[in-house]
Structure 1
Amino acid sequence: MKDCIIAVDTGTTSMRGILFSPEGRILHISQIQNPPSYLPGGLVEQATDSWKLALPSVLAETAAAAKSQDLRVAALSLSSNRSVVIPVDEAGLPLHPAIMWQDLRTEGLCKALVYRAPEVYARSGLPITSVFSAVKMRWLRDHKPEIFARTAKFFGVQDYLMHLLTGDFVTDRSMASRTNLYNLENREWDPTLLEIFGLPASKLCPLMDPGETAGILTTGMAGATGLEPGIPVISAGGDQQCAALGMGLLSNTDVVANTGTGSYVISLADKPLHDDKMRLFCNVSAIPGKFVVEATIPASGVVYRWFAENFYDSRSTGSEAFGRVNAEVDAAPPGAEGTILLPHFTGAGAPRWDSKASGTFYGISLSTSRGHLARAVLEGIAAEMAENLNLMEELTGPKARVFIAGGLTRFSGFNHILADMFGKLVSVALDAEATATGAWINAAVHLGHYPSHALAHEAASRPSASSKAISQDNSFEPDAIRHTIYLDLLARRSRLYDALAPMRT
């Protein structure tokens, strides 16, 4: 009986259990949708029971798929979204709904602490923004003191899932590096950062490296899932770090761009990198001893979904749901006849980091069609990514290859827009399960199935073993004329953002 690995990929809107063969081929996917609640005042929360109920369900289905193929599940490997805060008591029971990464309730607190931002960035590689965990923990201290007092530990999503599976309290360093409380240089929780945010170290979980065993599966969870008790549960790393690994980010001269609810542009570094203007972030990589330089765009795929649902009534989650939208995008000319979208629906992320920025259509006339607007949405998302790629090259050197993945890359029209906007060849991971593949790679190396991350990635990328391979058929060359159009678009949208500054006061 051959060994296999189950990766659990928990994103902002769903949880997936993915069964991998020994060669890194995806054999089965179980998925449960569980989007967060978007509440008035910029609050974004999630009921923790949604994960508690989804986890045994996706694992049971995936374990059954392994059994049906005469495979033994050797380990579980977990990756999830980051910078979510869940206060739990001494038994690990949640005391409050999860405060999600895109929640904006802490904006006032961020302003009050902004004078400490350079010091925080120098130590943690992150500025003070509402995205990261520390200000959410501080908000609970200030506004929910009774909950704060009862809090034994602060979990992220991944920590909570690992506790459900193993009973342990632990977090990995890739997750810790998204809190504003982790020192990149000494690789530990930082006392000065804890003092700045007014938080006790006792409420933070012990640290471990990504790609290591966090604990073993409990008898109770084994009974609920059909898995063997005692198998290792591996913390593979944060979702974007794992996605970068799964997409093949193994060299400092490459870059990956991953789209989901938000988008991320990521490159690799051998040591912590700091941007004097605090526009880019530095985090711990999923690869031991490495770091990632990351640009975060909070709203990308969620904006396209919003547009489709409100302008096309396209509410299905199936692959054909966006067919009409995409057809009209393809029919509209590059530049959308001067129509521009600033996709700042939850504030502007990198490189501007402006929480008061809002989504803005500009350049609409009586000749503007719905298709022009749809194309402007995708061009606006791609332009945000291109600005960050340009900045990344400025700070870390030129990038030879761009790998892209995520839901939006299932539409070839968007991939052409990216290539033309970047002015570079882009290559697509075919099945867009890059995060799960990265989680499999880390587990496969940890278990000794492969001697290195590079060899594990090579195995997963072989066309004979996996449909995830990067192939020439899924590479998109830039068009020089369209690139010129988009260079002008980038300049115009920058001027538009600056011109709207008085409206954001």
Structure 2
Amino acid sequence: MYLGLDLGTSGLKGILLDDDQRVVAETTAPLTNERPHDGWSEQAPESWIAAAEAVFAELGAKADLSGLKGIGLSGQMHGATLLDSADKVLRPCILWNDTRSAEEAAELDGNPAFRKLTGNIVFPGFTAPKLAWVKRHEPEIFEKVAKVLLPKDYLRLWLTGEYVGEMSDAAGTAWLNVETRDWADELLAATDLSRAHMPRLVEGSEVSGTLRGELAAKYGIPAGVVVAGGGGDNAASAVGMGVVKAGQAFVSLGTSGVLFAASDAYQPDAASAVHTFAHALPGTWHQMGVILAAADALNWFAGIAGAPASELTGSLGDLKAPGRTLFLPYLGGERTPHNDAKVRGAFLGLDHGADRAALTRAVLEGVTFALADCAEALQGTGTSIDRLIAVGGGSRSDYWLKAIATALDMPVELPEAGDFGGAYGAARLGLMAATGAGTEIATPPAIARTIEPEAGLTQAFKDTHDRYRAAYGAIRSV
């Protein structure tokens, strides 16, 4: 068996696969994050360990872990987990959706070496500006920093006792030379850090270490089980869905929204605000358009409306032409294509007809148009997408998927029942590390059905997307 652990923002998921990549057991331990100030988002790394212990215990109750051969890790990207020389956590982890370091990010981005070596804008959510913020605002903590780890790599430290990262996650720090797949000393020095502060790097399908003996004994796992490098959450999800070659792509409707395209070449275009990162497999890269609030925006509105998100979307019926009301989903700033940490969301064009259903449609359409912005940005880099696989909690809404297919004017495919996301991809990477298997095992899932664009509404969505783009310009200074 092979275990995949996916450390997300809202929970740690574990999946066990057998030798035929069939799911044997799965479970999730919930997590919470804190927002002590506007634009802040933090999580206690200790809670990740408690969640991992719960996941191991639950999986052990569902399956015999004595047959475990490999473990893979997936995780939320960009988080700054700061350790002192005794591996003590110095402060809560600053998460991917934290935008407090906008000023520091702009300063680092003003150094041309960052875009040249990373192929990306230095976004406020990336790790490097977070360290610059800590140095400026919490200098007593910065002075004690001995190691900087990404969230899943802190979990790896608990599992193996090793400081190890991998390429796809490291690409989101703004310290990695994404083309050569190595730490860039010049960029580390720009934030008063060095290689000594960083974990060593492996590819996602390589062995990063072995499970510590006491953990193996505690959970009935054989000694010497290997732990793979793993991947950042989206790269691991791509491995789970078989999106590993040029031309393959997926759309993720999770807390954030992602339009992900695999590539066999390094082809950055930093000015587009498209992310160009190393993939979790050797010799491959990927590009992403990223929006900060997708299902997160729907869940926010569901809280306001006092009804579950599934109830709001399930009662919408057939796809309709967008109405007068617009929703801009910038609840905590935006990445692609705006790189704007300060912009905030808005409802525009409200009238007496804007009932709960109309506002629900506006929220789904707003996220859809943000993804259409990402698609245009990706096309501007020369990346071609003609169909998408849909994943994430938001993909349960046919209305939403029909809106995305229509706005992007391309088919959206739904996999057969099953979870092919980060935990599944992590387990596949664990299988590769344990057995030496290659990318041939990263096959796409069987497609249950395909949602085609609604041809009669394509123009209406295009026209409303034009209004949506104009609305961003109107609210950015509010």
Q: Same fold by TM-score, threshold 0.5 exceeded?
A: yes
State the alpha-carbon separation in 2 of the partners of residues 354 and 392 from structure 1: 18
Aligned: 1:470 with 2:470:
no
State the alpha-carbon separation in 2 of the partners of residues 322 and 391 from structure 1: 29
* Structure 2 counterpart SS, 1:267: strand
Alignment of structure 1 residues 26-105 onto 2, 5 Å: 26-67=23-64, 72-105=67-100
Change (3 A) 1:113 1:74: closer
Deviations for 1:90-149, whole angstroms, at most 9, x for unmatched residues?
332211111111112212222333422x43112112212211000111222222222222
Aligned: 1:443 with 2:418:
no
What is the match of residue 127 of structure 2? Answer: 133
State the alpha-carbon separation in 2 of the partners of residues 93 and 52 from structure 1: 13
CA contact (8 A) 1:122 1:274 kept: no
Deviations for 1:453-497, whole angstroms, at most 9, x for unmatched residues?
233426xx3xxxxxxx322xx210111112111111111101111
Change (3 A) 1:252 1:33: same
Q: What 5-or-longer segments of structure 1 have no aligned partner?
A: 315-320, 462-468
TM-score by length of 1: 0.90
State the alpha-carbon separation in 2 of the partners of residues 323 and 440 from structure 1: 29
What is the match of residue 469 of structure 2? Answer: 494
CA contact (8 A) 1:406 1:432 kept: no
State the alpha-carbon separation in 2 of the partners of residues 158 and 493 from structure 1: 36
Change (3 A) 1:275 1:76: same
State the alpha-carbon separation in 2 of the partners of residues 448 and 223 from structure 1: 22
What is the match of residue 226 of structure 2? Answer: 232
Alignment of structure 1 residues 293-312 onto 2, 5 Å: 293-311=287-305
What is the match of residue 171 of structure 1? Answer: 165
CA contact (8 A) 1:441 1:453 kept: no
- C-alpha RMSD over aligned residues: 1.8
CA contact (8 A) 1:121 1:278 kept: no
Aligned: 1:219 with 2:213:
yes
CA contact (8 A) 1:236 1:286 kept: yes
* Structure 1 counterpart SS, 2:363: helix
Deviations for 1:398-437, whole angstroms, at most 9, x for unmatched residues?
3232111001001222111111111111102343442122
CA contact (8 A) 1:247 1:405 kept: no
CA contact (8 A) 1:243 1:258 kept: no
State the alpha-carbon separation in 2 of the partners of residues 278 and 203 from structure 1: 31
What is the match of residue 368 of structure 2? Answer: 382
State the alpha-carbon separation in 1 of the partners of residues 35 and 270 from structure 2: 34
* Structure 2 counterpart SS, 1:130: coil
Counterpart of 1:375 in structure 2: which amino acid? R
Change (3 A) 1:456 1:128: closer
Deviations for 1:19-65, whole angstroms, at most 9, x for unmatched residues?
11211111211111102112213211111121111112101221332
* Structure 2 counterpart SS, 1:391: helix
CA contact (8 A) 1:341 1:380 kept: yes
Aligned: 1:195 with 2:172:
no
CA contact (8 A) 1:84 1:98 kept: yes
Aligned: 1:371 with 2:371:
no
Change (3 A) 1:309 1:358: same
CA contact (8 A) 1:250 1:454 kept: no
Change (3 A) 1:93 1:226: farther
State the alpha-carbon separation in 1 of the partners of residues 166 and 50 from structure 2: 23
State the alpha-carbon separation in 2 of the partners of residues 49 and 185 from structure 1: 34
Counterpart of 2:50 in structure 1: which amino acid? L
Larger relative contact order (CA 8 Å, sep ≥ 6): 2
What is the match of residue 105 of structure 2? Answer: 110
The share of aligned pairs that are identical, in percent, is 26
What is the match of residue 210 of structure 1? Answer: 204
Counterpart of 2:93 in structure 1: which amino acid? A
State the alpha-carbon separation in 2 of the partners of residues 107 and 353 from structure 1: 10
State the alpha-carbon separation in 1 of the partners of residues 425 and 462 from structure 2: 33
Give the C-alpha shift of residue 257 in structure 1: 1.0
Paired residues in the alignment total 477
Change (3 A) 1:83 1:502: closer
* Structure 1 counterpart SS, 2:55: helix
What is the match of residue 124 of structure 1? Answer: 118
State the alpha-carbon separation in 2 of the partners of residues 287 and 425 from structure 1: 27
Change (3 A) 1:350 1:169: same
CA contact (8 A) 2:175 2:184 kept: yes
Q: 1:245 aligns with which of 239, 247, 250?
A: 239
Counterpart of 1:452 in structure 2: which amino acid? G
More displaced 10-residue stretch of structure 1: 413-422 or 494-503: 494-503
TM-score by length of 2: 0.95
More displaced 10-residue stretch of structure 1: 426-435 or 356-365: 426-435
Aligned: 1:17 with 2:14:
yes
Counterpart of 1:63 in structure 2: which amino acid? G
* Structure 1 counterpart SS, 2:395: helix
State the alpha-carbon separation in 2 of the partners of residues 39 and 75 from structure 1: 38
Counterpart of 1:500 in structure 2: which amino acid? I
Counterpart of 2:468 in structure 1: which amino acid? R
Counterpart of 2:5 in structure 1: which amino acid? V
State the alpha-carbon separation in 2 of the partners of residues 331 and 425 from structure 1: 17
CA contact (8 A) 2:206 2:432 kept: no
CA contact (8 A) 1:273 1:282 kept: yes
State the alpha-carbon separation in 1 of the partners of residues 401 and 476 from structure 2: 31
Counterpart of 2:6 in structure 1: which amino acid? D
